[in-house]
Structure 1
């Protein structure tokens, strides 16, 4: 009897010890991952690429290429790329990076490492913000991760990145938030604000979720080329929340119309006021900006609490807002600080072309082979730089425009932004002009 009692006690002690050790191992990170991991998907894309071997060696993107590249023999081949995404509703909508699915002819997702792939379709994307929405083709009730918020994050708080690094399947990395608003220059015209952490973000992690210790979605991981090691970046989830409706319902992000032309404040202004800002140079009559009471010569200091020290910051932030959004504008009028609420509107029909005429001074028309200048207004900016009737515009800020639709799409994201660089062809000569 005594032996049985001793065995029972030993067994009980072993069981309790094991349970205690298991409880100690179940950290907040483990709990957060358990909440989120079923909503994380691996993404595989197929792309059909056509490549023409140029015979115009040494000329790069030359006028020869512009006119004769279609005559060169083409070779077609398939390529594959890998990435991550996160399901954000039970219907199977997936949030990921735009570059993960860029130019994809087919998209496949896997809910876990051991499940078969499902086909997904692209619903909408925006390359400037680097966000895309996919939808799983097969109907179902899918596990999802609700959108959290990124406006209450704390420096130093623990974060977790989940993704498909290097195509190896679901992997977890942890770290802390190093910066809440790290501005990164994407290219010559664009910069963006990211959450910076020390969680490792490898190729394949792009598009996966960044979550906090409560398992809440706070960002979308973005793999970026950087010289530094141990630095990860994520698009704040509040940025995604502002554009989700447009991506799902319109397939793209419609820029909200404000009706401003802005410029940089002078170095003297910065020195005397101790801060930068964006100078309002012109307000269009009847625009949302005028209705809200903004005036020319006002200096915009913040939009929704985010500082805008120079025009590039203003444009990068504004492009994440859509029609109907209400912006809280903090500004300086003389020595007085004011706050105005501007409700963005949809861009008026044909506004891109009327804007081109009003700001730069030329009209456009479309031919079968591209976009051409129909008229140059005497004394305008276009006239002063030498543009002429019959010139063909093939690029704006290095973005190709093959027709008026593409031209308008490029301009609508650059309203109020100056200077713009136009690549023009006249006869057999191509050149670039900068319009201030």
Structure 2
């Protein structure tokens, strides 16, 4: 009897062997991220980029002092950057941040199994802070699928995978803290972001933000911080925009093409909503319309309030441009608007900025008054490229040249008059300058400011 009692006690004291198995459903997988990470991590890569830059003397372009400082500066210097990326296809298409790989002369991509690939940039955009890369000689690569970021909800569990501080691939967890964050992120990126509290640190840039099913919902791009480390406020570029970048890269584009709105808008806040007769703030009120704007063609007028694009609410101009970019050039977008409180449903064609009228780009040769000066006629396409105001018109400086720069000209200056004579077109510049020499006065617009430059030649 005593022996049986001792055997029973020993059996009760011996721990049962724990069952080890892969979670079988969504409820179980939330208890452990290990199977999810094991599946997703191989598609997240470390990126090492470098570029050679020339150190230049500040007097290098000066026509007088340049000769004295010819031997100063000009030494090549290598700049290195570290970041992360995500493989999106078996043939080695990778997405990362522009600030990681932009203008790089050498890009090395390292998988988490230490396999290395050389890569080249197919398409990059500094404003969106996105770049699409192609791995050289890549086949059957592990990759993540894209989830439509418009289906993401606040409170969802997410993982951030990247290479923070260069310590190696690291995973952190959190939730989606907010959506439609615009104008709050730091760095080059502008537009619409997913906010997360998953720790993101330097080196995580370009890494993956995935859901609990291992699908990519965003590309980590920036944080808000005072210390330089993660404070729990990170931003990711939504996967819907990433998909449009991939599509354009596969179509052979080298620059990201955004649909052109041809409007100037302002967010409707509480004060503005009252003057517009709206019951609550929200939307974008149209303040200016370009004559060639597709919104004007569709029937939008100054004072109308754009409330939604393709069923998605927009509350800032950045959100509206994001929604148009996701829709893509060549497609129609459904616009929901209000005019004096009455609803409007319109269809707007997504178009590229028109390259009309012709630019008539003109460069002054060595016999000109300002050799090297390059000017062109302003049109919507050129205005978009140079960041000019919507209503800019006339002749713009695209390159001041060494002598023009010394006189105070800058790229983006819109020339209005030369010694009081109106500038009618790019081809008239050379003759106007010759007649005005040697004492020249240029009246121009620099942004929204009127500027006059006086100099002798």
Q: Give the TM-score normalised by the residue count of structure 2.
A: 0.70
Query: Could you report, residue by residue, the CA deviation over 1:38-61 in whole angstroms, capped at 9, with x for unpaired residues?
Result: 1111111112122235479xxxxx
Secondary structure of 2:182 counterpart: strand
Distance in structure 2 (CA, Å) of the matches to 1:22 and 1:177: 25
CA contact (8 A) 2:417 2:443 kept: no
Q: Who is 1:363 aligned against?
A: 395
The yes-or-no answer on 1:426 pairing with 2:453 is yes
- Give the greater-gyration-radius structure (CA): 2
Q: Who is 1:354 aligned against?
A: 379
Query: Could you report, residue by residue, the CA deviation over 1:258-277 in whole angstroms, capped at 9, with x for unpaired residues?
Result: 34344566976412412243
Distance in structure 2 (CA, Å) of the matches to 1:266 and 1:90: 46
CA contact (8 A) 2:158 2:211 kept: yes
Q: Who is 1:338 aligned against?
A: 344
Distance in structure 2 (CA, Å) of the matches to 1:349 and 1:125: 22
Query: Could you report, residue by residue, the CA deviation over 1:188-236 in whole angstroms, capped at 9, with x for unpaired residues?
Result: 9974221111111111111011100111111101133523712222111
Unaligned runs of 5+ in 1: 1-5, 57-62, 397-419, 430-436
The yes-or-no answer on 1:194 pairing with 2:193 is yes
Q: What is the number of equivalent residue pairs in this alignment?
A: 384
The yes-or-no answer on 1:34 pairing with 2:33 is no
Distance in structure 2 (CA, Å) of the matches to 1:22 and 1:188: 40
- CA 1:428–1:263: 2 relative to 1, 3 Å: farther
Unaligned runs of 5+ in 2: 1-6, 360-377, 384-388, 405-410, 434-440
CA contact (8 A) 2:128 2:190 kept: no
CA contact (8 A) 1:364 1:375 kept: no
CA contact (8 A) 2:148 2:240 kept: yes
CA contact (8 A) 1:94 1:134 kept: yes
Q: Report the Cα offset of residue 161 of structure 1.
A: 0.7
Question: Which structure has the higher relative contact order (CA within 8 Å, separation 6+)?
Answer: 1
Larger CA deviation: 330-339 vs 88-97: 330-339
Q: Give the TM-score normalised by the residue count of structure 1.
A: 0.73
Q: Who is 1:150 aligned against?
A: 149
Query: Could you report, residue by residue, the CA deviation over 1:285-343 in whole angstroms, capped at 9, with x for unpaired residues?
Result: 56532443323432212223444445455456545553123323221012212222212
Q: Report the Cα offset of residue 237 of structure 1.
A: 0.7
Secondary structure of 1:239 counterpart: helix
How is 1:343-422 mapped onto 2 (pairs within 5 angstroms)? 343-350=349-356, 353-355=378-380, 359-364=391-396, 369=401, 375-376=416-417, 420=447
CA contact (8 A) 1:255 1:321 kept: no
Distance in structure 2 (CA, Å) of the matches to 1:287 and 1:78: 44
